[in-house]
Amino acid sequence: MKIRILGVPLDLGQERRGVDMGPSAVRAAGLNAALRELGHQVEDSGNIHVKLAEEQHYGDRRAKYLKEIAETCRELAERVYHTLELGFFPLSLGGDHSIAVGTLAGVSKFYRHRGQTIGCLWIDAHADMNTPESSPSGNVHGMPFAAALGFGPEVLTNVFGDSPKVQAKNAVLIGARDLDAGERQQVRESGVHVFTMRDIDEQGMRAVMEKSIELATRGTGGFAVSLDMDVVDPDEAPGVGTPVPGGITFREAHLAMEIIADSKKMVSLEIVEVNPILDTHNRTAALAVGLASSALGKKIL
């Protein structure tokens, strides 16, 4: 497979600074070499330029830095689209989760131009389903899943063209365990499929992934994977933007990625919210590299 890495050092979508160093931390943990070892052709196209928080005012308190985030997402969307056109598999590195709007915009437009839709696996401790009206913080990294599904400010939902990027019937939230009050209602009304931590505990990761992939591939050209590292338990992944106890284990995370690889239906991958400031010895970035490898074909035997 030909893989192109796109770094997006964006941290405007959240309060706690540090995820802007995520792409660097994941590269330092050996991403490129690990993927080459699997036999892939790997091309790193570097980072997208992102403005610093210090360079500007946050604007609307209910959706801070919205304009700048939308601009970054548009640029990422163009690059992702171009990457697919050239026959490369896009691997985006965040940055905070608001970059998902850009990745999904690029992938969905590419498939739309070929008469197809895409599914999405949103693997996350949170639902990221807020809108400026429901968000308690005004941080845009809590809004990208809503935006991809067509809810929220137009400047975000319409990045790089049509909305929604993904239809709710093909969108699956996996690993959720921390939702805001207003967000719960939005999740229910949106029609997305949700497998919470309780579902994973009760049914097991294998069953959850098989059901999720079935939903995400039903009538689509494949599915995008948006992996927020905070889905993994903070014991294993302490270096994330917003840690929440009670997450999936190291092995559950790998199993999920291995099942994704087996499906051969993943059309893009993004790994977000790695925060080296909160990490110990870059282990969360190292885990990110391991999970990317599993999703892209690494097997134990």
Q: Which residues are catalytic?
A: 97, 124, 126, 128, 141, 228, 230, 273
| Nearer to Mn ion (CB atom), residue 31 or residue 148 | 148
How many residues bind to Mn ion according to rule CB under 5 A? 4
Min dist CB 79 to Mn ion, Å, is 21
| Nearer to Mn ion (CB atom), residue 97 or residue 165 | 97
Min dist CB 120 to Mn ion, Å, is 13
CA 152 centroid distance within chain: 18
Contact mark string toward Mn ion, 77..116, x via CB under 5 A: --------------------x-------------------
Rounded-to-integer distance, Cα 295 and Cα 291, Å: 6
Helices (H), 22-163: 22-28, 31-37, 66-85, 100-112, 144-148, 154-157
* Percent composition of the chain: helix, strand, coil (DSSP 3-state, to 5): 45, 15, 40
Min dist CB 100 to Mn ion, Å, is 8
Min dist CB 73 to Mn ion, Å, is 14
Rounded-to-integer distance, Cα 277 and Cα 74, Å: 28
| Nearer to Mn ion (CB atom), residue 97 or residue 177 | 97
Rounded-to-integer distance, Cα 247 and Cα 252, Å: 10
Rounded-to-integer distance, Cα 128 and Cα 122, Å: 9
Min dist CB 96 to Mn ion, Å, is 8
**Matching residue, tokens 């699956």:** 172
- Is beta strand 171-176 parallel, antiparallel or unpaired with respect to 193-196? parallel
Token readout for 235 is 């014991």
| Nearer to Mn ion (CB atom), residue 11 or residue 88 | 11
How does DSSP classify residue 279? Answer: -
Q: Binding residue for Mn ion (CB under 5 A) from 183, 228, 252, 258?
A: 228
The angle, 0 to 180 degrees and rounded to 10, between the axes of the packed helices 66-85 and 100-112 is: 40
Does 270 bind Mn ion (CB under 5 A)? Our answer is no
Contact 229, 269 (CB under 8 A): no
| Nearer to Mn ion (CB atom), residue 25 or residue 42 | 25
| Nearer to Mn ion (CB atom), residue 35 or residue 120 | 120
Cα 186-187-189 angle, rounded to 5 deg: 65
Contact mark string toward Mn ion, 166..205, x via CB under 5 A: ----------------------------------------
CA 217 centroid distance within chain: 18
- Is beta strand 89-94 parallel, antiparallel or unpaired with respect to 171-176? unpaired
> Binding to Mn ion (CB under 5 A): which residues in 114-143?
124, 128
Residues that bind Mn ion (CB under 5 A): 97, 124, 128, 228
